[in-house]
Amino acid sequence: MINSDFPVLQDSSNESGQGDSVSLSLSVSELEDTGEGKSKKKRGRPGRPPAASKKARKSPVDKGGRRPNGMAQHNGQGGDPSTLFEVVKLGKSAMQSVVDDWIESYKQDRDMALLDLINFFIQCSGCKGTVRIEMFRNMQNAEIIRKMTEEFDEDSGDYPLTIAGPQWKKFRYNFCEFICVLIRQCQYSIIYDEYMMDTVISLLTGLSDSQVRAFRHTSTLAAMKLMTALVNVALNLSINQDNTQRQYEAERNKVAGKRATDKLELLLEKRKELQENQDEIENMMNSIFKGIFVHRYRDAIAEIRAICIEEIGVWMKLYSDAFLNDSYLKYVGWTLHDRQGEVRLKCLKALQTLYTNRGLFPKLELFTNRFKDRIVSMTLDKEYDVAVEAIRLVTLILHGSEDALSNEDCENVYHLVYSAHRPVAVAAGEFLHRKLFSRHDPQAEEALAKRRGRNSPNGNLIRMLVLFFLESELHEHAAYLVDSLWDSSQELLKDWDCMIELLLEEPVQGEEALGDRHESALIELMVCTIRQAAEAHPPVGRGTGKRVLTAKEKKTQIDDKNKLTEHFIIALPMLLSKYQADAEKVANLLQIPQFFDLEVYSSGRMEKHLDALLKQIRLVVEKHTETEVLEACSKTYSILCSEEYTIMNRVDIARSQLIDELTDRFSHSVEDLLQEGDEADDDDIYSVLSSLKKLTAFHNAHDLTKWDLFKNCYRLLKMGIEQGSMPEQIAVQALQCSHYSILWQLVRITEGSPSKDDLVALRRVVKSFLAVCQQCLSNVNTPVKEQAFMLLCDLLMIFSHQLTTGSREALQPLVFNPDGTLQSELLSFVLDHVFIDQDDENQSMEGDEEDEANKIEALHKRRNLLAAFSKLIIYDIVDMPAAADIFKHYMKYYNDYGDIIKETLSKTRQTDKIQCAKTLILSLQQLFNELVQDQGPNLDRTSSHVSGIKELARRFALTFGLDQIKTREAVATLHKDGIDFAFKFPNPKGAEYPPTNLAFLEVLCEFSSKLLRQDKKTVHSYLEKFMTEYMMERREDVWLPLIAYRNSLLTGGDEDRMSVTTGSTTSRASTVRSKRGRPPLHKKRTDVPEESGDGSWVMRNDSLQTPGGLQTPQLTSTVLRENPRQAAEHIPDQDSSEPGSEPDFIHNPQMQMSWLDQQKMEEVNRKDRGGMNYMKARSGGVRQQVRGLMEDDAEPIFEDVMMSSRGQLEDMNEEFEDTMVIDLPPSRNRRERAELRPDFFDSTAIIEDDSGFGMQMF
């Protein structure tokens, strides 16, 4: 029994390290007692270490001659390992023999053996320190742990349990196994000697309360595994007690003559000994549970909490009589609210092991009622792994008790079968199968098993599946439903015999017939099961792609494909015959042939069924004009006409006959329509439209060039343009059919050796068709215009300069470049049909679900239109300045088209940086001009419209990135164009008034931060060309844009230089700023030295704020964001030039005579205007600039940098906190440290009483 006399490591909780102590030998009542004074300890309160002040103990055996610490630490290289840590780490010896050797050494000298064991735990924590024999004998627990903490390696946060790699993963396994084997081998004698277990438990309790994470983590794992091993011992003792009791009862119940008194006494003595041992084990378990578990299951580290929950689940499973009660289950229930997914996952897995055993359900009933709602809600957990396990747990609860879950609980899980995450959907499918499709009556199942078809056991289940699918109002994805049920209900889903009979046979008497909706749903589900069986992979949107099938899966796939082919080769013509008038059903049924093994038609002599299928398809084509049905027919013909199958000739003949008939009908209808002109009736129009839709659908998948459909389509389009009365559907179909005809002709030319005449003929066709499409852009019918626009964009892409790439120079005659008129019309179409406000047009239909669907469809169509035009800009088919009208809508239509516009901007910059920059500034100029037209020349710079333009400019500036060298010329060109625009029109009132567009400079300020220091000087010199002395002296509000822009060019130049040449200073400054937060935007400077008139002007106006919705911050070069070493490489010293500066540009033939070069050469000749001489400023005030850089930099961190670094900063903060807790003063008592730890649970889930352990849950 653990008592106060055992020689354990002591732990102190007062400042001096000495005081009253309490041992782990206290009984449960003593542990829970509040006590009188400090000598008593409440074991249920988390985070409070056991106090101890025992005098230094003396070892019973003090043997000399041994090593002070019992071992020499081994480095793991060469030789035999000399420590337990090295032995366990290498794992070369069987753990049984390692433990036996330790037990042998313990019998010889238990102090030295225990010292080895203590150092084993210390070294497993990653600590380099070693406990010596003097420390073991003379120092208390707290002192030893404090000493080890001081010797802990703080260079790295890693320790054996957290280091990645197979070696350390194996070490963790060996570490746990060592503890389990140690207790198992010592369970008959050593653990009851009141020395070994007391010492180990005391050590682990002290370590588990350490502020050092490595000690806490390692000791908690060890303690939990120790507890698990003790639970096994207690379970064995309980079994032995029961056996001994039965033997005693049997012997005592014998008649007096046959009763053996000696045996009864022996059994009584054995029972007493077992009971004493049981009490000892329970005492140890109570000490571990209340001294370690109840504190560490709330630890700040998620891994430690997960260890505790995982092990308590093991205890409940192993020894349910002792642990499976509300006193222990409440910890698992509370931890279901943990913030970390891995802890919630351990809770669910622990509960799954309990609910798997149906015999434990009575003990879990109260827990289920209390925490069922939380478990069901976890099926929607943000961590997919947690959600999957929660669904599996709910399924186990359902399997154990159907009444445990309400209908609402089940419905919350049902809809997850439509989840895009496949593991979640599959788990929900298992739940659905268990709830709806499991048969619970064995006798009824045996009777139904003899029936086949619609009367088979699956007949009613398929009806139920159809009903479930129809009642799933939120989802209509049959493929997702089938995939979710595929693993659990495969037998049901592959019962195609039953499905076919339900569709074809008439219902028997008393059986309810399937309704039209039910038949449509059954056909859709049936087709999805066929696809799943034939393709053997999840539908699109689930999974990361097609995985390689195993040999078993491949065999199953082949067998399923053969099975479905045999079924549907015969049944499909009959199904088409029955439902040929229903477009939806026919469109689904016609998907089935693509999953056939078509060789069966020949090998199985089933040509008659092929003829029946072709006959039914022909009838479907004749009866239907729906695009979906016609495309399905076309695709089916295309599959059946594959050259690899012998049935190809038979199908090709049937197809040719059908096309001949359709072409003849189309030609006659066109002739009649053209002759009658405006007098054509509806029958003539319908005849042309129906035949044209069918031919267009077939032309998409089949080469119908020999039927020359382009000629009649072109005639229809020309007539529509000339007369303006062509029905829109005919025009749309004629455009599409002509497009297919051109593409098939191009395919023939590219695959063969075309002659010059072939190229000329195709060019003539393409040219005439492009002209027709261009004319159709002005059609009154929107569908016609949209179709013409899309075809124009596609053909211009196909017949662009890229057509000749890849050794296809012979196709040069086919290249078309759109002229300015066509480009303007395309751009106008985009502006008129894409950038529109749809909400204003449909306000009367708000809240209508159908209208919402229409809005989504319309938005999708507009996105396609914009993407088609953007591709022309990206591939340099349309001139880049046309993109200005696209870019200016970036902010206003960000939600609808932001991704498309941003990608277009990125691609155009890759093509031509300078031209892209010109396009950006042009888009801002257009917005500014529109604003001037609306508000007049006197703009309200505080209005939302001006703020919107500035915000757009800021977004554009962010897209230039951090590498200023690469974007140097582009940014400088942008500033030049902006300055030209600002001073382009003088004020008609006179020179004393600002130019009309001067306010645009405020927008241009947003790009000043992207200029290099020397480029700022160049741009400023260029600005001064436009400025008069009068302008420089003005300070009125109307001149503030000029003041702000000059300020953005003048300020930051010296700071940039300072930030580059003093990389360490800027790094430190940024660190300081990150800690204290951002400084005010415009903090007034008082430490800038006066240099000249211009310099004093800079100082005087540095604190001016720009009126408007957005303040213009002081700007600092983004070189601040670069690595200090890289920054030093940019500017090695003062005398050398920066990369990308004047010498680089002058000696680079590709950059000679650029605008920057010209401006810099002019600046060299105007040194007398050097009011902003940089070197002079730097020599006069380096110290002040450094201080200003640290204190007054208004915006040291840019948004684009912060967004990319936010996660790293959070990780840094978290790591910083973990490091800081080690430095907490040792004088803090356990209660104070517990208050520092965060509560990781919902406040409503845990209401802890004074002890923390005796709390009532219900």
Tens digits of per-residue pLDDT, 1064-1097? 333 333 333 333 343 333 333 333 333 333 333 2
* pLDDT the model gives residue 15: 33
Percent of residues in the chain assigned helix, strand, coil, to nearest 5: 70, 0, 30
Contact assessment for residue 576 and residue 563, using Cβ atoms and an 8 Å cutoff:
no
Separation in Å, CA 1187 to CA 1070, 1085, 1191: 13, 11, 6
pLDDT band at 1207 (very low <50, low <70, confident <90, very high): very low
133 has a pLDDT exceeding 90: no
Q: Which of 160-169, 524-533, 807-816 is most confident? A: 524-533
Q: What is the spatial distance between Cα 899 and Cα 790, in angstroms, rounded to a whole number?
A: 20
Are 462 and 522 in contact by the 8 Å Cβ rule? The answer is yes
Helices (H) and strands (E) in the chain, counts: 58, 0
Instruction: Average the pLDDT over each of 597-606, 921-930, 1058-1067, 1076-1085 and give the range with the smallest value.
Output: 1058-1067
CA pair distance 341, 351, nearest whole angstrom: 15
State pLDDT tens for residues 144-202. Answer: 888 888 877 656 678 888 888 888 888 899 999 999 999 999 988 888 888 899 999 99
428 burial type by CB count under 10 A (0-12 exposed, 13-18 middle, 19+ buried): buried
The rounded distance, in Å, linking the Cα atoms of 159 and 495 is 56
- Provide the pLDDT for residue 1162: 59
The verdict on pTM exceeding 0.75 is no
Tokens representing residue 905 in the block? 């901007």
Closest by CA to 1195, choosing from 1121, 1115, 1112, is 1115
Mean pLDDT computed over 671-691: 85
Share of the chain above pLDDT 90, in %: 46
CB 59 within 8 A of CB 137: yes
Mean pLDDT of 630-655: 91
- Does the pLDDT of residue 97 top 80, yes or no? yes
Residues 1132, 1144: Cα–Cα separation, whole Å: 15
Contact 774, 718 (CB under 8 A): no
pLDDT bin (cut points 50, 70, 90) of residue 455 is: low
Query: Minimum mean pLDDT among 133-142, 213-222, 407-416: which range?
Result: 133-142
1004 burial (CB, 10 Å; 0-12 / 13-18 / 19+) is buried
Q: What is the pLDDT of residue 1161?
A: 58
Q: d(Cα 1223, Cα 341) in Å, to the nearest integer?
A: 29
Q: What DSSP character marks residue 249?
A: H
**Sign (positive/negative) of CA torsion 52, 55, 59, 65?**
positive
CA–CA distances in Å: residue 919 to residues 179, 615, 887:
71, 60, 8
The H-or-E segment that residue 658 falls in is helix 648-676
Lowest mean pLDDT of 305-314, 787-796, 831-840, 906-915, name the range.
Answer: 831-840
Model pLDDT, residue 1155: 55
User: Is 242's pLDDT higher than 80?
Assistant: yes
Residue 442 has pLDDT above 80, yes or no: no
Q: What is the mean pLDDT of the chain?
A: 77
Work out the number of other CB atoms within 10 angstroms of the CB of residue 1041.
Answer: 26
| Report for 39-43, 64-68, 473-477, 1130-1134: range of highest mean pLDDT | 473-477
3 state DSSP class of 79: coil
